[in-house]
Chain A
């Protein structure tokens, strides 16, 4: 067990009224797993991610990573945000070097590592560009390279492709799936897109709102380089639809 979430709840105080955003979440995640937190808005999936990442703390319960209780963010667990969080005044390369600047390593080493990850996300030609000169998909690649550059154990992604168009989105899904296979990171990925979850996850954690709860966990035992149109994919997708009651359960009747 790598990540363990024990009875985590989160209550926000709003105008003297308590709003329960997360209710008693229990979840364990193994090292190297690709987990998708899937649910409609308001189901607390982003709150849960923020709590695991250490940006927020649970009202009750706790999160344990590697036998240590999470109290604050750490460079070991890097979060990638939907709006990328790139520094607009820095070039692509300087952005990727940001996390490395905290570590005590030489300039040459920094440059080498940055180049390596920029190449990994296919942006070598653009390393001197500024974020505003890049498309949304390219900006998100920079954010991914920046996160990977510090060699974290876990990557948290909070609806990272939410602002991208459908085509770019699918390309990015392919890419993150490849990177995950290559780098063997643990990835926890928040999304409200069912197909995205089925395409990416080893396990899909299905969450429902009011208050945020884990409804069920669906295994996706498909091989990588997944085909979005094959039967197995559609079957799992249907199961997820069923979980959200977005599809009628068809009773198969036998008659002679």
Chain B
């Protein structure tokens, strides 16, 4: 689909939502404090933009997100490469991971606060936990799926284990790892807000709590919209990266084997 067509679709979709929203508001069945009108939300948005609080909060949130996400990615990829490579070790670790993985990062929150205190760290830790497992699991499975011919070639040329990991296993599994990064990004962003709802005085999650405490539903919705839009932008960013990887790795254009 061409770009103009896409843009038109986006505009149509947004318009439908806005019109429905406005219609519901116009019926007058809901108080403004329960359902603010689009205009009120726009004004609230203007307010937080002009007093600078929105950008400060976005900045703080993105920083926490970046620190938590990237540290989780680095550790999970390194561990994933090693664990995927040493199958016997993974056989022991795997059951533990399978138990830990389905636990919502939020469940750890009391412990995180007890161990790490309050401030930026708990929010970062939540994001870390949310990103770590998807990346770890996708890395391990990517390593297991590496074409055995590559390993034979490496062995044939007498490559040392470390070189095999860095020159063959890592690049060969990279496209699948990036898919894991993509999934992790989405789930980590979801938990950013949760992580910022307790124990911090800044960030997008705090904006939500703050709006609730001051009974400002217009601000609340403005914050929600921001979280959605930024999440979308982050996703697009990873998408571009993923496409680039696909192209460089020659996946986008499978060779014609005749």
Contacts and interface: CB of A to CB of B under 8 A. Distances in A.
Interface of A: 53, 55, 72-75, 77-79, 81, 83-85, 87-90, 98-99, 101-102, 130-136, 139, 150, 163-165, 168
A149 to B, nearest CB: 10
B258 A136 contact: yes
17 contacts: A55-B152, A73-B158, A75-B157, A75-B158, A79-B156, A81-B149, A87-B150, A90-B171, A98-B153, A102-B157, A102-B160, A131-B255, A132-B251, A132-B255, A136-B255, A136-B258, A139-B255
B9 interface: no
Q: How large is the interface on B (under 10, 10 to 19, 20 to 34, 35 or more residues)?
A: 20 to 34
B155 A73 contact: yes
Contacts of A55: 152, 155
B172 interface: yes
Contact of A89 (B153, B159, B171): B171
A200 B171 CA distance: 36
B150 A85 contact: yes
A149 B240 CA distance: 37
Contact of B163 (A72, A102, A168): A102
B132 interface: no
Given A89-B174, A136-B257, 4 more contacts: A74-B156, A89-B172, A101-B159, A165-B258
Nearest to A95: B153
Interface string B134-172: 000000000000010110110111111001000110011
Contacts of B255: 131-136, 139
B249 A88 contact: yes
Interface of B: 147, 149-150, 152-153, 155-160, 163, 167-168, 171-172, 174, 248-251, 253-258
A163 B153 CA distance: 19
Contacts of B156: 53, 73-75, 77-79
The A contact surface, by secondary structure, is loop
Contact of B149 (A72, A75, A85): A85
Contacts of B250: 88-89, 130-133
Contact of A99 (B149, B157, B172): B157
A139 B147 CA distance: 17
B153 to A, nearest CB: 4
Nearest to A130: B250
A150 B158 CA distance: 11
A72 B154 CA distance: 12
Contacts of A134: 255
A99 B149 CA distance: 15
Nearest to B248: A89
Which of B155, B156, B249 has the most chain A CB atoms inside 10 A of its CB? B156
A131 B174 CA distance: 17
B251 A88 contact: yes
A248 B249 CA distance: 52
Contacts of A77: 156
A124 B152 CA distance: 26
A102 B152 contact: no
Contacts of B155: 55, 72-73
Contacts of B257: 136, 163
B177 to A, nearest CB: 13
Contacts of B168: 87
Contacts of A89: 171-172, 174, 248-250
B94 to A, nearest CB: 26
Contacts of A168: 258
A88 B248 CA distance: 8
A113 to B, nearest CB: 14
Nearest to B154: A98
